Structure 1
Amino acid sequence: MHVVIAGGSGFVGGYFAKMLIEQRHQVTVLTHSDIAVINARLEKHHGLSGKVNLISYDDYNGEGDVLFNFAGESFGAKAITTRRLNLLLSSRLDIINKFKSLITLPPIYVQASAVAIYDDKGNGEIDENSPTNGDNEIAELTRKLEAAAQELNERFNFKHFYIARFGIVLHRNGGFIKKSAFTPPFTILHAENKVPFIELHDTLNALMLMTEGTLPSGPVNLVSPQSATLKELLACCFKHSKLPPIPIMTGFLKLGDRRMILLKADQDVKPNVLLQHGFKFYTPDISKVD
């Protein structure tokens, strides 16, 4: 199988490319960056130098069996100010518009999105059929992204079309946990709000299901069956720290940084599509994350 990954040098994309190569699939990574730089990054973190076909978006002609679109500026890399919020959206829409200009695309298309699109006020369980009525700026960004992907689907009429709605992806070697290593350990008083998460290996296995087209087209929640409380999430991030966590109040969180929206939200999101199709989670709750 030939799998094309837009954004394949990022956290999830890089590990997914490695899994695909190990299973003897052909992998093409699309990039805006210098190909030599991306090749060096994939080699350093995943040992993939020479094993992945790297091409620019301008040189991509729509080939492949499956197209995963993880492309766009990272949500976690920097504080999300008003200016950066616009960049997060435009960097994603630009890639979708490039795909729209092509004559053909692979028959299976997967668009990365986020559970932030759902209600975040703690109003009970949420699944793929729940309203996408989150009322914050990140939810609005996500709705615009998904609308653009739907337009792409209308243009190409994909055999399988997936919206992969991610919770926070956890792994010791990247993402939220690794970024936490650069801050002093802390906990937040009264942080009992539920935060959807998924361990990296469960994420990769779920994405593999999409390459096979075994799930019905539509949204798929990439979250663990058991949401963690924010307090549990922070304890997981700092569990190997030798320093005791510093308790703080939520009022000390930086209000100008929209990343705090994701941590202060209260969402009990369930992966019903995966569960209904027999998917086995190896890390079903936060206590199982190493």
Structure 2
Amino acid sequence: MYILITGGTGFIGTALCQELINQGHYLTVLTRQSLTAQEAVSYCQNLADFQDLNQFDAVINLAGEPIFDKPWTDQQKQKLLSSRLNITEQLVELFHKSEQPPHTFISGSATGFYGDLGFTKKYDEQTACGTKFPALLCQQWEETALQAESSQTRVCLVRTGIVLGPTGGALQKMLPLYKFGLGGKLGNGKQHWAWISRNDHIRTILFLLNNKQSQGAYNLVAPNSISNADFNQQLAKALKRPAFFNVPSFLLKLGLGERSQLLLDNQPLIPQRLMDEGFEFQHHTLGEYLSNTFLSIK
């Protein structure tokens, strides 16, 4: 396939692009970086370079300003929103201008769509949207992407949880603390984190790309979410380090403001639609992932 990718130079995008190349696909990557084109990869810096998308079979849209890196001032919230909506709107417009548009549009979202959930059950893609900033951000992002849907194009929305990998993402920020024995639970530790290995995240995108029946929203999370307290203990055990520290909720809220909800919200999510469609996860539980795949972090 000929595939256009936005966000192809980040933690997830870099590995995804390499896997797509390995499978024989040809990529055009939207990036502001000056990179040397490879045999199967070309780069562009502006979607204005395209009149339409007729030359592509699929589009994968992962672009967006990192949500956790900076305080959520009004200005930063607008930047987070614009970085997602502007590119998605431009892509939708190009879909509409195409006589033969790409057959598949895979567009990013996040489990922040759901906000803080209850403790009585596990939640799937039928769960309603939350009401706080991350939820409204994801909702607008998804609604924009769905405008590309037509009889010629199917749209898949990927609601991504915490992506784990040894060389980046959330663990890159956590590991230094744990290696120095400064790890610990956040708040009361009862909140569930919806996580997924980077390898499974990439495999789910490839699954959605190749499964012509797939469309709509998908939770890109492992089948088994984990409480923050258990996450803390299992990561500490894998690193053979103590993890006795505890950061109270009020300190997280004081230090991080609204961003603290990304760490404290309870999200016992399951990837129901992926499981229903036959996707097979390689990593079902965090303990199995850490012990079998993540030995390099030691």
TM-score normalised by structure 1 residue count? 0.86
Residues in 1 aligned to 2:82 and 2:105: alpha-carbon distance in whole angstroms: 20
Residue 83 (structure 1) aligns with: 75
Counterpart of 2:219 (choices 218, 221, 224) is: 221
When residues 245 and 173 of structure 1 are mapped into structure 2, their CA distance, relative to the original with a 3 A threshold, is farther
- Are positions 1:54 and 2:43 aligned together? yes
Q: 1:137 to 1:49 in 2, by over 3 A?
A: same
Q: Is the deviation greater in 249-258 or in 174-183?
A: 249-258
Measure, in 1, the Cα distance between the counterparts of 2:73 and 2:196.
Answer: 26
Q: Deviations over 1:28-49 (max 9, x none)?
A: 1112x1323xx5xxxxxxxx85
Relative distance call for 1:101 and 1:216 in structure 2 (3 A) is closer
Would the aligned equivalents of 2:187 and 2:264 in 1 still touch at CA under 8 Å?
A: no
Q: Give yes or no for contact 2:283–2:289 (8 Å, CA) kept in 1.
A: yes
Distance 1:162 1:90, change over 3 A: same
Contact 2:165 2:197 in 1 (8 A): yes
Deviation at 1:119, TM superposition (A): 4.8
**1:104-149: per-residue Cα shift (whole Å, max 9, x none)?**
24120011101111252315221112222x1211111111111111
Is 1:125 aligned to residue 115 of structure 2? no
| Secondary structure of the structure 2 residue equivalent to 1:142 | helix
The residue identity in structure 1 corresponding to 2:153 is: K
Correspondence 1:174-213 to 2 at 5 A: 174-183=168-177, 184-188=182-186, 190-213=188-211
Map of 1:15 onto structure 2: 15
Q: Does 2:122 correspond to 1:109?
A: no
Report deviation, 1:267: 1.6
Q: Which residue of 2 aligns with 1:136?
A: 132
Whole-angstrom distance in 2 between the partners of 1:112 and 1:162: 9
User: 2-side partners of 1:100 and 1:190: how far apart?
Assistant: 43
Give distance in 1, aligned partners of 2:234 and 2:49.
Answer: 42
Distance in 1, Cα, partners of 2:3 & 2:251: 44
Matched, 1:168 2:166: no
Aligned pair in 2 of structure 1 residues 240, 215: CA closer, same or farther (>3 Å)?
Answer: farther
Quick one: which amino acid aligns to residue 79 of structure 2? L
RMSD: 2.2
Are the aligned partners of 1:81 and 1:257 in contact in 2 as well (CA < 8 Å)? no
Counterparts of 2:287 and 2:75 in 1: how far apart (Å)? 37
The worse-fitting range, judged by mean Cα deviation, of 162-171 and 83-92 is 83-92
* Paired position in structure 2 for 1:43: none
**Partner letter of residue 191 of structure 1?**
G
Partners of 1:260 and 1:241 lie apart in 2 by 27
Partner of 1:45: none
Look up the match of 2:87: 95
> C-alpha distance in 2, partners of 1:25/1:186?
43
Q: Report the number of matched residues.
A: 276
- Evaluate the alpha carbon distance shift between residue 75 and residue 233 of structure 1 in structure 2; reply closer, same or farther with a 3 A threshold: farther
2:110–2:159 CA contact under 8 A, matched in 1: yes
User: Which structure has greater strand proportion?
Assistant: 1
CA contact (8 A) 1:108 1:213 kept: no
Q: Counterparts of 1:164 and 1:214 in 2: how far apart (Å)?
A: 16
Q: State the Cα distance separating 1:100 from its structure 2 match.
A: 3.3
Q: 1:233 aligns with which of 231, 238, 241?
A: 231
Aligned partner of 1:34 in structure 2 is 33
1:81–1:287: structure 2 CA closer, same or farther, 3 Å change rule?
farther
Q: Give SS of 1:190's match.
A: coil
Q: Hey, what's the Cα distance between the residues in 2 that align with 1:243 and 1:119?
A: 31
Cα drift, residue 215 of structure 1: 4.2
Structure 1 segments (4+ residues) deviating >6 Å: none
